[in-house]
Amino acid sequence: MPATATRLNRLLALSFFMYGVLAVPWLERSALKRVAKPRVSRRTNESASSSSTDACATSIVAPKQNVWNSLTDDETASVTQWLFNQRDLNLTKASEAGDWDNTLLLVELMYPNKTDVLRYMDRNDTEPVRFAHVVIAHRSSPDPYYGDLIVGPLPVQNGTTTWNYLEYPYTRKTKGQVRNLDADEHALVEWLYSITASIEDITLALWNGTALGLQNDTISLSGISPYWQNDDRIVGWYTLTNLPTGEYDSATLLPLGLCFKADLTGRDPSKWKLEGWWYNNIFYHNTHEFRAAFKSPGFVRLGANVDGTWTSTGQQEPVLPHDTPLPPVHTALGGSRYSVDETQKYVTWMDFSFYLGFSRDTGLTLYDIRFKGERIIYELGLQEALSHYAGIDPATSGTAYLDSFSGMGANTFELLKGYDCPAYATYLNSSLYFEETSATYLQNICMFEFDADFPIQRHTNTMFASSTKNIYFTVRSISTVGNYDYLISYSFYMDGSITVEVRASGYIHAAYYADNKDFGYHIHDFLSGAMHDHVINFKADFDIRGQDNTVQFVSTVPVTRSFAWSGDKEVNTMMLQRSFLENEDSARFNWSPNQATQVLVLNTDKPNQFGEYPGYRITPYSGSAHLTMQKSSDLVDSATWAGYDIQVTRQHDTEPRSAHPYNLEDVYNPPINFDDFFDGENLTQADLVVWFNLGMHHVPQTGDLPNTLFTQARSGVQFVPSNFLSSDPSRQIVQQERVNYTAGYNASMMQPLGPDSHTCPLAF
């Protein structure tokens, strides 16, 4: 994830969404442009495009209210108005706010507690009372903080509605507040330009460019994330980067190899200090030292990374043979095969059903996933996305993005029909708070059926051949957080399995190539494809035949043993070894080498007729990874979920999420430290939550230029029914063929499935 001014740009990117447009030219050149750019992106209702209604989905009425559905525009408006009337919050409108004003960053639905939801869903109790989750940026004092508030009950009524700091999801109990290291964004931008202006002679001499905060700047800055936070000091590193000259968003490919260190402790810019320069792997303690070296005869001038064709994502010559005619296009000729309640965001496809929720931090979450009418997963959704870099330069080494800070939901933009999802897909809108109003993110969720390029089943013998279509159903969104695009798909299959996949594309965040072969490949003139780990955490709250579940491990192990029939002879063979996960002390583990161990979530109270336990197996699907470093110096305790492939805890309403968007503001004392979830609780027949990581060790190579590709950067997990039903449910599929060879009939006589008069509208 990341952006030019990484830390800073992200901050500015965030500013664009949360505080409004700042009148700083540099922002327009870099940060702002990158955020505003997501081309078709976040349109408001005025510029709404054509309607998304389609013939592929039948509309239905959800059996229950979607208790996870976003606040209505009216709810958002009334909560906002009410908050502005609370004098103790002392809020200023985003468009008028400066660094020392309090602002309202977020108003969204407070997701209800599972305990209350189940009472409503399963026991016909009344709908849980709705509350709003609110985030304020308190900046009007020397100790600025972000405040998480719970406001309600809704609808707002003077007298009964109250606000409180939201304490319960925090693993440290500090009143729902996190210190805010980003309060002085305007002052910081100004201060940073004063530093780059102080070496204008050098930037002109080295690169014929300036970073002065003017329209004609050709150089920008990128900062680390998180800040160094040791010894009560807040220290940042900034790296100079060429700005793209063309229309491509390639600033993260253009580092110039010069970094500076800044002590930014406190809110008084006059006390902020430049602490040195880093160039050509030499550290200069101050500008004077750096300039003296620069003027000395032996000074080595490094080359610059400059954009060009190599950074452009446009079509490049020559055209490949036969690439001009329209490629095969998927269509949905059979008409409606699934149903959607667009208002309630409730979906049914074949024997699956679920509700959708959408939030600023985490984007899409699926709730109450049922298969054949039975709940199998209460909640399935992304928690946090980490990109952790390493490098010889301080900026790359100091970069570990946690993307819920920018918002995996807030950066989920309009999908391109026929490219991001099939043209015939059903597209849904989302509502998100933006500067005191509710903004509609158009068509940022898609769902569609797809025919895999292989059958789900087939068999041939001398008598007949049979084959069954492999149709699956996908719900998808794409979050573009700075330079990277994460494509996130939840897919459902006819055999009862579910997959979760993440793919990444977009511009890599590269490093200056300076003798750093150990930290990445040399991929362009002066460019290192900075190595980094992607780790993306998901929550899967399984409920198999009820809430009381157990994790079982079934391992395939080598053995040497004798049998009743083997006499003296020992046989080298293999066998199964079964064990249960008993408590949280041993509940953090990795996929086994050689995939030897099955990990199953099952219900031991409900064995089948053969004495086996019904459940779902969890298995890596297309690559996975956890964080390489054991205890990251950058992250400290802020992403302790990243160290294992899979972790299991006992469900608690007070532990709804593994991460907090502001964990990087206080890495030694983050609001949510996932380590604290592990307190030795009994996991035998308890309500279990499985937290799993998708990810990859990304070592960009020349093929990552100009962009990383979804084909290569991907990771997934699959949930597979295990002894759950008495046989394979895909046998119910009508879309199968059997050819009898004996009846004088052979496979060539079969008519391929052809077009039909029912067609979904095609849009190209």
Cα gap 11→8, rounded to integer Å: 5
CA 273 and chain centroid, separation: 35
What type of residue sits at position 538? F
Query: CB under 5 to 8 A by kind: which of Cu ion, ligand NAG, none does 748 bind?
Result: ligand NAG
Residues of the shown chain interacting with ligand NAG in the complex, contacts defined by CB under 6 A? 45-46, 48, 51-52, 85, 90, 92, 100-102, 110, 112-113, 123-124, 131, 140, 156, 158, 168, 208, 214, 216, 342, 428-429, 440, 442, 653-654, 682, 684-685, 738, 740, 743, 745-746, 748-749
Given the complex with ligand NAG, which of 313 and 684 has the nearer CB atom? 684
Residues of the shown chain interacting with Cu ion in the complex, contacts defined by CB under 5 A? 698
Q: How far is the CB of 717 from Cu ion (least distance, A)?
A: 19
CA distance to 238, 273, 391, per residue, from 263 (Å): 11, 5, 21
Query: CB under 5 to 8 A by kind: which of Cu ion, ligand NAG, none does 743 bind?
Result: ligand NAG
Cα gap 331→761, rounded to integer Å: 9
Given the complex with ligand NAG, which of 36 and 465 has the nearer CB atom? 465
Omega of the bond leading into 706 within 30 degrees of 0 (cis): yes
Considering only CA atoms, which of 587, 495, 576 is closest in space to residue 549?
587
Query: CB under 5 to 8 A by kind: which of ligand NAG, Cu ion, none does 756 bind?
Result: none
Query: CB under 5 to 8 A by kind: which of ligand NAG, Cu ion, none does 131 bind?
Result: ligand NAG
Torsion angle, CA of 308/311/312/318, rounded to 10 degrees? 80
Query: CB under 5 to 8 A by kind: which of Cu ion, ligand NAG, none does 672 bind?
Result: none
CA distance to 130, 445, 545, 650, 682, per residue, from 550 (Å): 32, 33, 11, 10, 10
Tokens of 609: 């007729």
Cα gap 526→393, rounded to integer Å: 13
Query: CB under 5 to 8 A by kind: which of ligand NAG, Cu ion, none does 698 bind?
Result: Cu ion
Query: CB under 5 to 8 A by kind: which of Cu ion, ligand NAG, none does 112 bind?
Result: ligand NAG
Query: CB under 5 to 8 A by kind: which of Cu ion, ligand NAG, none does 46 bind?
Result: ligand NAG
Catalytic residue among 227, 248, 346, 484: 484
The dihedral through the CA atoms of 167, 168, 173, 178 has a sign that is negative
Query: CB under 5 to 8 A by kind: which of Cu ion, ligand NAG, none does 442 bind?
Result: ligand NAG
Q: How far is the CB of 243 from ligand NAG (least distance, A)?
A: 11
Query: CB under 5 to 8 A by kind: which of Cu ion, ligand NAG, none does 160 bind?
Result: none
Q: How far is the CB of 504 from Cu ion (least distance, A)?
A: 6
Give the pairing of strands 464-468 and 471-481.
unpaired
Given the complex with ligand NAG, which of 287 and 736 has the nearer CB atom? 736
Given the complex with ligand NAG, which of 159 and 593 has the nearer CB atom? 159
Is 170 among the residues known to form the active site? no
To which residue do tokens 């992200």 refer? 10
Query: CB under 5 to 8 A by kind: which of Cu ion, ligand NAG, none does 113 bind?
Result: ligand NAG
Q: How far is the CB of 484 from Cu ion (least distance, A)?
A: 7
Given the complex with Cu ion, which of 488 and 601 has the nearer CB atom? 488
Given the complex with Cu ion, which of 626 and 698 has the nearer CB atom? 698
Tokens of 256: 């110039």
Q: What is the largest CA-CA distance in the chain?
A: 93
Q: How far is the CB of 211 from ligand NAG (least distance, A)?
A: 12
Cα gap 427→477, rounded to integer Å: 10
To which residue do tokens 């006992």 refer? 650
Asked if 242 contacts 251 with a C-beta cutoff of 8 angstroms, the reply is yes
Q: How far is the CB of 448 from ligand NAG (least distance, A)?
A: 14
Q: How far is the CB of 576 from ligand NAG (least distance, A)?
A: 24
Given the complex with Cu ion, which of 367 and 486 has the nearer CB atom? 486
Considering only CA atoms, which of 133, 156, 128, 152 is closest in space to residue 65?
128
Cβ-closest position to Cu ion = 698
CA distance to 272, 376, 599, 613, 686, per residue, from 541 (Å): 46, 9, 15, 18, 11
Given the complex with Cu ion, which of 276 and 716 has the nearer CB atom? 716
Cα gap 351→344, rounded to integer Å: 19
Given the complex with Cu ion, which of 179 and 698 has the nearer CB atom? 698
Q: How far is the CB of 697 from Cu ion (least distance, A)?
A: 9
3-state helix, strand, coil in the chain (%, to 5): 15, 35, 50
The dihedral through the CA atoms of 197, 202, 203, 204 has a sign that is positive
Cβ-closest position to ligand NAG = 48
Cα gap 364→332, rounded to integer Å: 25
Cα gap 662→135, rounded to integer Å: 11
CA 388 and chain centroid, separation: 14
Catalytic residue among 368, 403, 634, 704: 403
Q: How far is the CB of 716 from Cu ion (least distance, A)?
A: 16
Is 403 among the residues known to form the active site? yes
Local structure of 573: helix, strand or coil: strand
Residues 6+ apart with CB under 8 A from 586: none
Q: How far is the CB of 669 from ligand NAG (least distance, A)?
A: 21
What type of residue sits at position 412? T
Cα gap 756→55, rounded to integer Å: 14
Cα gap 644→667, rounded to integer Å: 19
Given the complex with Cu ion, which of 476 and 698 has the nearer CB atom? 698
Local structure of 253: helix, strand or coil: helix
Count other Cβ atoms within 10 Å, centred on residue 291: 16
Considering only CA atoms, which of 397, 396, 629 is closest in space to residue 510?
396
Backbone angles phi, psi at 641, to 5 degrees: -75, -10
Q: How far is the CB of 446 from Cu ion (least distance, A)?
A: 24
What residues are labeled active site?
Answer: 403, 484
